[in-house]
Homo-oligomer: A and B are copies of this chain.
Amino acid sequence: MGKLYVIGIGPGGLDHITLKAAKAIEESDIVVGYTKYLEMIKPLIENKEVYSTGMRGEEKRCEEALRLSVDKTVALVSTGDSGIYGMAGLILEMKKDENVEIIPGITASSAAGAVVGAPLMHDNCNISLSDLMTPYEEIKKRVSLAAEGDFVISLYNPKSKGRPGYLRECINLIKEHRGNNTPIAVVRNALRDDQSYALCTLENFNDEIVDMFSIVIIGNSKSYIKNGVFITPRGYKLNREEA
Protein backbone atom coordinates (compact mmCIF):
# COMPACT_ATOMS: atom_id res chain seq x y z
CA MET A 1 0.00 0.00 0.00
CA GLY A 2 1.17 3.52 -0.80
CA LYS A 3 1.29 6.63 1.33
CA LEU A 4 0.66 10.36 0.88
CA TYR A 5 2.69 12.85 2.88
CA VAL A 6 1.14 16.35 2.88
CA ILE A 7 4.16 18.50 3.61
CA GLY A 8 4.64 22.14 4.52
CA ILE A 9 8.23 23.10 3.69
CA GLY A 10 8.11 26.37 5.65
CA PRO A 11 9.04 29.74 4.13
CA GLY A 12 10.91 28.17 1.23
CA GLY A 13 14.40 26.95 0.53
CA LEU A 14 16.01 24.26 2.62
CA ASP A 15 16.95 26.15 5.79
CA HIS A 16 13.61 26.12 7.54
CA ILE A 17 12.22 22.78 6.39
CA THR A 18 11.93 20.21 9.21
CA LEU A 19 14.04 17.04 9.32
CA LYS A 20 10.81 15.02 9.17
CA ALA A 21 9.62 16.85 6.05
CA ALA A 22 12.99 16.42 4.32
CA LYS A 23 13.05 12.73 5.24
CA ALA A 24 9.49 12.20 3.94
CA ILE A 25 10.43 13.82 0.61
CA GLU A 26 13.51 11.60 0.35
CA GLU A 27 11.37 8.51 1.08
CA SER A 28 8.87 9.43 -1.61
CA ASP A 29 8.74 7.93 -5.11
CA ILE A 30 6.93 10.97 -6.48
CA VAL A 31 6.92 14.64 -5.47
CA VAL A 32 3.83 16.72 -6.33
CA GLY A 33 3.74 20.48 -6.06
CA TYR A 34 3.62 23.91 -7.61
CA THR A 35 6.57 24.38 -9.96
CA LYS A 36 7.96 27.41 -8.11
CA TYR A 37 7.91 25.65 -4.72
CA LEU A 38 9.59 22.54 -6.10
CA GLU A 39 12.45 24.69 -7.38
CA MET A 40 13.02 25.86 -3.80
CA ILE A 41 13.82 22.30 -2.70
CA LYS A 42 15.59 21.16 -5.86
CA PRO A 43 18.48 19.39 -4.06
CA LEU A 44 15.94 17.16 -2.26
CA ILE A 45 14.06 16.04 -5.37
CA GLU A 46 16.78 15.41 -7.92
CA ASN A 47 16.34 12.04 -9.64
CA LYS A 48 12.74 11.84 -8.41
CA GLU A 49 9.58 11.59 -10.44
CA VAL A 50 7.90 15.00 -10.23
CA TYR A 51 4.33 16.06 -10.94
CA SER A 52 4.08 19.83 -10.95
CA THR A 53 1.41 22.24 -12.14
CA GLY A 54 0.84 25.98 -12.31
CA MET A 55 -0.67 28.11 -9.58
CA ARG A 56 -4.33 27.34 -10.19
CA GLY A 57 -3.95 23.58 -10.41
CA GLU A 58 -4.47 22.80 -6.72
CA GLU A 59 -7.51 20.55 -6.92
CA LYS A 60 -6.10 18.66 -9.87
CA ARG A 61 -2.85 18.29 -7.97
CA CYS A 62 -4.61 16.92 -4.90
CA GLU A 63 -6.59 14.42 -7.00
CA GLU A 64 -3.42 13.30 -8.71
CA ALA A 65 -1.53 13.01 -5.41
CA LEU A 66 -4.31 10.89 -3.90
CA ARG A 67 -4.53 8.70 -7.02
CA LEU A 68 -0.76 8.11 -7.12
CA SER A 69 -0.61 7.36 -3.39
CA VAL A 70 -2.74 4.23 -3.75
CA ASP A 71 0.36 2.18 -4.57
CA LYS A 72 3.28 4.66 -4.29
CA THR A 73 4.80 6.91 -1.66
CA VAL A 74 3.94 10.47 -2.62
CA ALA A 75 5.01 13.85 -1.19
CA LEU A 76 2.53 16.69 -1.78
CA VAL A 77 4.54 19.82 -1.11
CA SER A 78 3.48 23.39 -0.37
CA THR A 79 5.12 26.31 1.41
CA GLY A 80 4.41 27.39 4.98
CA ASP A 81 2.39 25.02 7.14
CA SER A 82 0.32 22.57 5.07
CA GLY A 83 -2.38 22.89 7.76
CA ILE A 84 -2.66 26.73 7.78
CA TYR A 85 -4.17 28.03 4.51
CA GLY A 86 -2.31 25.03 3.01
CA MET A 87 -3.24 21.82 1.18
CA ALA A 88 -3.96 19.55 4.16
CA GLY A 89 -7.61 20.58 4.36
CA LEU A 90 -8.51 19.88 0.75
CA ILE A 91 -6.68 16.52 0.81
CA LEU A 92 -8.55 15.42 3.93
CA GLU A 93 -11.85 16.63 2.42
CA MET A 94 -11.19 14.62 -0.78
CA LYS A 95 -9.53 11.61 0.88
CA LYS A 96 -11.27 8.22 0.86
CA ASP A 97 -9.17 5.39 2.26
CA GLU A 98 -5.77 6.57 1.14
CA ASN A 99 -3.02 6.57 3.77
CA VAL A 100 -2.38 10.27 4.48
CA GLU A 101 0.06 11.89 6.94
CA ILE A 102 0.15 15.67 7.56
CA ILE A 103 3.62 17.09 8.26
CA PRO A 104 3.55 20.63 9.67
CA GLY A 105 5.89 23.44 8.65
CA ILE A 106 6.78 26.98 9.71
CA THR A 107 3.81 29.17 8.75
CA ALA A 108 4.35 32.59 7.12
CA SER A 109 3.51 34.64 10.24
CA SER A 110 6.12 32.75 12.31
CA ALA A 111 8.71 33.31 9.57
CA ALA A 112 7.84 37.01 9.21
CA GLY A 113 7.85 37.47 12.98
CA ALA A 114 11.36 36.03 13.33
CA VAL A 115 12.61 38.43 10.64
CA VAL A 116 11.55 41.58 12.50
CA GLY A 117 12.00 40.49 16.13
CA ALA A 118 9.37 38.95 18.41
CA PRO A 119 5.99 40.50 17.51
CA LEU A 120 3.95 37.32 18.18
CA MET A 121 4.98 36.81 21.80
CA HIS A 122 1.46 37.11 23.17
CA ASP A 123 -2.04 36.10 21.98
CA ASN A 124 -2.11 36.40 18.20
CA CYS A 125 -4.22 35.62 15.15
CA ASN A 126 -3.86 34.94 11.44
CA ILE A 127 -6.38 36.52 9.06
CA SER A 128 -6.43 36.23 5.27
CA LEU A 129 -7.69 39.32 3.44
CA SER A 130 -8.54 37.34 0.34
CA ASP A 131 -12.26 37.31 -0.38
CA LEU A 132 -12.20 34.52 -2.95
CA MET A 133 -13.82 32.18 -0.45
CA THR A 134 -14.77 34.46 2.45
CA PRO A 135 -17.20 37.40 2.13
CA TYR A 136 -15.36 40.69 2.66
CA GLU A 137 -17.92 41.75 5.29
CA GLU A 138 -16.92 38.71 7.37
CA ILE A 139 -13.24 39.52 6.95
CA LYS A 140 -13.78 43.10 8.13
CA LYS A 141 -15.83 41.91 11.12
CA ARG A 142 -13.03 39.51 12.05
CA VAL A 143 -10.38 42.22 11.77
CA SER A 144 -12.43 44.57 13.99
CA LEU A 145 -13.02 41.91 16.66
CA ALA A 146 -9.33 40.91 16.64
CA ALA A 147 -8.39 44.56 17.09
CA GLU A 148 -10.92 45.00 19.89
CA GLY A 149 -9.52 41.85 21.57
CA ASP A 150 -5.98 43.28 21.43
CA PHE A 151 -4.63 40.33 19.45
CA VAL A 152 -1.37 40.70 17.56
CA ILE A 153 -2.72 40.42 14.00
CA SER A 154 -0.92 38.75 11.07
CA LEU A 155 -2.54 39.49 7.72
CA TYR A 156 -2.06 36.86 4.99
CA ASN A 157 -2.75 37.78 1.35
CA PRO A 158 -2.84 41.44 2.40
CA LYS A 159 -3.16 42.74 -1.14
CA SER A 160 -3.91 41.75 -4.71
CA LYS A 161 -4.85 43.61 -7.87
CA GLY A 162 -8.49 42.65 -7.47
CA ARG A 163 -8.87 44.35 -4.07
CA PRO A 164 -6.40 47.22 -3.77
CA GLY A 165 -8.37 49.01 -1.04
CA TYR A 166 -9.00 46.18 1.47
CA LEU A 167 -5.74 46.51 3.38
CA ARG A 168 -6.12 50.25 3.90
CA GLU A 169 -9.73 49.75 5.04
CA CYS A 170 -8.74 47.01 7.48
CA ILE A 171 -5.88 49.10 8.90
CA ASN A 172 -8.42 51.88 9.47
CA LEU A 173 -10.71 49.42 11.30
CA ILE A 174 -7.79 48.49 13.56
CA LYS A 175 -7.10 52.19 14.23
CA GLU A 176 -10.50 52.43 15.91
CA HIS A 177 -9.17 50.17 18.69
CA ARG A 178 -5.43 50.74 18.81
CA GLY A 179 -3.12 53.73 19.27
CA ASN A 180 -1.29 55.56 16.47
CA ASN A 181 2.09 54.33 17.71
CA THR A 182 1.17 50.65 17.35
CA PRO A 183 4.01 49.04 15.39
CA ILE A 184 3.38 47.45 12.00
CA ALA A 185 5.80 45.19 10.11
CA VAL A 186 5.55 44.54 6.39
CA VAL A 187 7.69 41.50 5.58
CA ARG A 188 8.15 40.45 1.97
CA ASN A 189 9.42 36.95 1.10
CA ALA A 190 10.23 36.22 4.77
CA LEU A 191 13.33 34.01 5.18
CA ARG A 192 13.74 33.68 1.42
CA ASP A 193 16.75 34.90 -0.54
CA ASP A 194 15.00 38.06 -1.68
CA GLN A 195 13.59 38.93 1.75
CA SER A 196 12.88 42.56 2.62
CA TYR A 197 10.90 44.30 5.36
CA ALA A 198 9.77 47.67 6.66
CA LEU A 199 8.69 48.78 10.12
CA CYS A 200 6.20 51.58 10.64
CA THR A 201 3.22 52.48 12.84
CA LEU A 202 -0.55 52.66 12.44
CA GLU A 203 -0.14 56.40 12.03
CA ASN A 204 2.41 56.40 9.20
CA PHE A 205 1.51 53.09 7.52
CA ASN A 206 1.75 53.23 3.74
CA ASP A 207 0.19 50.27 1.94
CA GLU A 208 2.04 50.94 -1.31
CA ILE A 209 4.98 48.79 -0.19
CA VAL A 210 2.69 45.79 0.37
CA ASP A 211 2.24 43.13 -2.31
CA MET A 212 0.95 39.56 -2.53
CA PHE A 213 4.28 38.17 -1.29
CA SER A 214 4.03 40.16 1.94
CA ILE A 215 2.79 39.40 5.45
CA VAL A 216 1.61 42.39 7.50
CA ILE A 217 1.91 42.12 11.30
CA ILE A 218 0.12 44.66 13.54
CA GLY A 219 1.26 44.71 17.18
CA ASN A 220 -0.98 44.68 20.25
CA SER A 221 -1.41 47.66 22.62
CA LYS A 222 1.87 46.80 24.41
CA SER A 223 4.05 46.19 21.35
CA TYR A 224 6.93 48.56 20.65
CA ILE A 225 9.96 49.03 18.42
CA LYS A 226 13.41 49.20 20.05
CA ASN A 227 16.56 49.72 17.97
CA GLY A 228 14.75 48.60 14.84
CA VAL A 229 13.36 45.46 16.50
CA PHE A 230 9.62 44.75 16.84
CA ILE A 231 8.86 43.45 20.35
CA THR A 232 5.60 42.37 21.97
CA PRO A 233 6.33 41.98 25.70
CA ARG A 234 6.41 38.46 26.96
CA GLY A 235 3.47 36.46 27.80
CA TYR A 236 6.32 33.97 27.58
CA LYS A 237 6.94 33.52 31.27
CA LEU A 238 3.50 32.29 32.17
CA ASN A 239 3.79 29.80 29.37
CA ARG A 240 7.23 28.38 30.01
CA GLU A 241 6.42 27.99 33.68
CA GLU A 242 3.46 25.78 32.91
CA ALA A 243 3.99 23.98 29.67
Contact = CB atoms under 8 A, between A and B. Distances in A.
Interface string A209-241: 000110000000000001001011111111111
A84 B151 CA distance: 13
Interface string A1-43: 0000000001000111111101100000000001000000000
Interface residues of A, number: 88
A131 B241 CA distance: 12
Contact of A237 (B23, B90, B92): B90
B133 A234 contact: yes
Interface in A46-67: 55-56, 58-59
A103 B10 CA distance: 12
A237 B132 CA distance: 8
A76 interface: no
Contacts of A193: none
A134 B104 contact: no
Nearest to A86: B236
Contacts of A95: 229
B110 A81 contact: yes
A81 to B, nearest CB: 5
A212 B238 CA distance: 12
A234 B104 contact: no
A207 interface: no
A34 B243 CA distance: 12
A201 interface: no
A93 interface: yes
A107 B10 CA distance: 12
A87 B236 contact: yes
Given A18-B17, A124-B125, A237-B90, A242 B102 contact: no
Interface of A: 10, 14-20, 22-23, 34, 55-56, 58-59, 78, 81-93, 95, 102-108, 110-111, 113-114, 117-128, 130-134, 138, 141-142, 145-146, 148-151, 156-157, 160, 191, 212-213, 226, 229, 231-243
7 contacts: A16-B20, A55-B241, A81-B106, A84-B113, A86-B121, A92-B117, A138-B150
